[in-house]
A and B are shown apart, each in its own frame.
Chain A
Amino acid sequence: DREGEKRLNGWEALGSRDPRSRGTAMEHISQEVMQRVESIGPIPATVPSPVATAGHPTSDLNDILARLLMLSKRCPFDDVRERCVWLLQNVQDFGVRIPRPLGNGPSRFIPEKEILQVSKVDPRTQSIFEDAFAALGRLDNISLVMGFHPQYLESFLRTQHYLLQMDGPLSLHYRHYIGIMAAARHQCSYLVNLHVNDFLQVGGDSKWLNGLDGAPQKLQALGELNKILAHRPWLLTKAHIEHLLKAEEHSWSLAELIHAVVLLTHYHSLASFTFGCGITPEIHSDGGHTFRPPSLSQYCVCDIANGNGHGHLEERRGNHQVSEVSGEVEVLMERMKQLQECRDEEEASQEEMATRFEREKTESMLVATAEDEECVPSRDVSRHFEDPSYGYKDFSRRGEHVPTFRVQDYSWEDHGYSLVNRLYPDVGQLLDEKFQMAYNLTYNTMAMHKDVDTTMLRRAIWNYIHCMFGIRYDDYDYGEINQLLDRSFKVYIKTMVCSPEKTTKRMYESFWRQFQHSEKVHVNLLLMEARMQAELLYALRAITRYMT
């Protein structure tokens, strides 16, 4: 046990900013590893599947090796990376089989090269990565992908760190467990694995992990809220809140509930991001690496298919598509320009149209059509709803529609913020900054074009997501959405926000084909934050109603 602890400390020291202490820690680890390797001897080659058959020492060693592999790829410090590669090489020379990463970098959708390049170019990103690594002893794939947008990443990590590690009404293992609950709602195994580890590390009871039945009743009671929030937040009423707060000895306090709600929404939306960017399992966790040699197993066939070979394929196809869809961006920009001008020119008639639109919408709501039709009354959109991959199908068929939530009556800035900050100090501020960061982030570029004002496009995306949740901005002309967001993009947004687990690489590739990966990640950030805010608004409104 002490041995294990010592090793753990060694890992932590690798996050130090001081190269010397990193060196010492690395030295320590290599000694440890070589010791183990020597004690095992160069036999394991005979063992067909190390994970399955090997006794404790080997699997323990395997964990260490996997971790080394992760470090050799992901550690933001060059020296550690090099030393890990060297060490793994040594181990291999000794005749012990070493793991190799499965898959193709942090994201299935984005070439590894492009992601990892970021930190090398941008010192700010590098510094954030180092911080994150020092704090957690790992640099998760989500952070790596978000590294495209360092300003946002900083705000994101600060908020997440506060939610999970800092002062708060909930105990640490509860926080991670709630994270697991939320991620599991979307079958996001990546986040679940991540937090199962954290949960156990902060002393969580492994029995809870068998299922919600194994968890305390208090957490079980949260299951319903989790479900509703994830899929149909508009159904949340003050009765649900009352139920949680008035459950005798298993009841939640308001502050705890706010904390839980923020965590739930955070992880629901993070699950969206995870699927939306095709985040792959961490290298050192299950499914992130394999010990099989590349030439022998089926894995490698897959790997080749998904890996390097695929890259070429993709490139070729990409080139092909570029010629096919060139001008997509220009068309979009042209439309934005038109919308801008047309608004400037004929105010009154625009207003008239908006009025008519509103009338249409109100009437269509009375007829109880699909909820999305109310938001964007175009046949184009309503066609998506027949898509079987669509999470809401059931409800619309049963005639349920999403009631309209007027943002002017309950907005994050005026109401939500005050409530959160009152019950969970500082989090309101952190979330506020994060939302603003996501909403206002722009580099004034669109694909290869520079100096473009993308406000309109970003607003359309944000409002479209809110609109799927029935949240309505009075001062927005929803006709713009149809002009700016094409069908494949809407499919992507819809899938990612409502049933992220169904996101496929094809969807990711088929929208905005000419845009950069960083821009697509940007879109994902917008989607994630808009979704989080939408869920939060419903939850907070229910809590406010309970309180009044």
Chain B
Amino acid sequence: MPFGNTHNQLKLKFTSIQEYPDLSKHNNHMAKVLTPELYERLRTKMTASGFTLDDVIQTGVDNPGHPFIMTVGCVAGDEETYIVFKDLLDPVIQDRHGGYKPTDKHKTDLNAANLKGGDDLDPNYVLSSRVRTGRSIRGYCLPPHCSRGERRAVEKLSVEALGSLTGDLKGKYYALKNMTDAEQQQLIDDHFLFDKPVSPLLLASGMARDWPDARGIWHNDNKTFLVWVNEEDHLRVISMQKGGNMREVFTRFCTGLTKIESLFKDRGHAFMWNEHLGYILTCPSNLGTGLRAGVHVKLPNLSKHAKFGEVLKRLRLQKRGTGGVDTAAVGGVFDISNADRLGFSEVQLVQMVVDGIKLLIEMEKKLEKGQCIEDMIPAQK
């Protein structure tokens, strides 16, 4: 967060030990990695836009951690953060992304034709299908660090690009600060509207500054393709629809993303991407694909089975309540999505979800009939 402690010249007159944060009660990835020695090595550095180590870690210092979830505890302020502070972020990334090494390369695959099946998830169980990711526009600082001028420039560029979409992707932009009451209610009813962040994890990093300036929601007329502008990332892109046709959702996702990328390129702007980390986003947990593909699925019997957690783990899937992260399941309906983001391509991750959900539904059907599922339990992917 661009506050005084990060720009304060006086800071360098104090020793590293005097400035080093008290992390004794902390449980997050940043606290595990940041030793006093590492702090000393990195504290004098900054990116060209002025983002410093203290900016990176402020959220992790202010939020000691969740008792059950290991939070990341650091954010990027620009694309360069991941390079200048790699000595901190590489081990954090390795820890968070299942051993992903600093020398590893990430594959990007947004060719939906490479997905096998996925159009026939049983609609008696799968209520809805959704794929989301994020994108950052190269040359602009990220939400924790951007100026109002930059944030507005990102909005302007995005609205122009999205305004050029045609066919079933044609849609409309709703700026948060100009919304009428009727528009706001409609967006709430559609479950599209996002609010000013209240999580201290996000607030402490500075991404809610100047709310709601330059924030908004774009969606197509069919309400199946949605883009959030300037929330936690420059862009969050979401494709969704009722039912179990994940293939169609993913196809629209890839088509839309590719179109948007080329519209930006036409205007001289690229997305932040490199071959080591894939797509660059604010939080290190969203690097790589930044992709979460998931379904709302009814699994009342399976979810009560003792091996449910183990099965999900082996399938590299994650469960959440239907309100999203940190919510509870309601009526046996769960949000099941991929646990990984980095080190697998988009197609691979969606394939895992499609294949995994198929298996979970089969297990559910078996349990409905009172049959055993022990022989169906998969090996670790």
A binds B: no
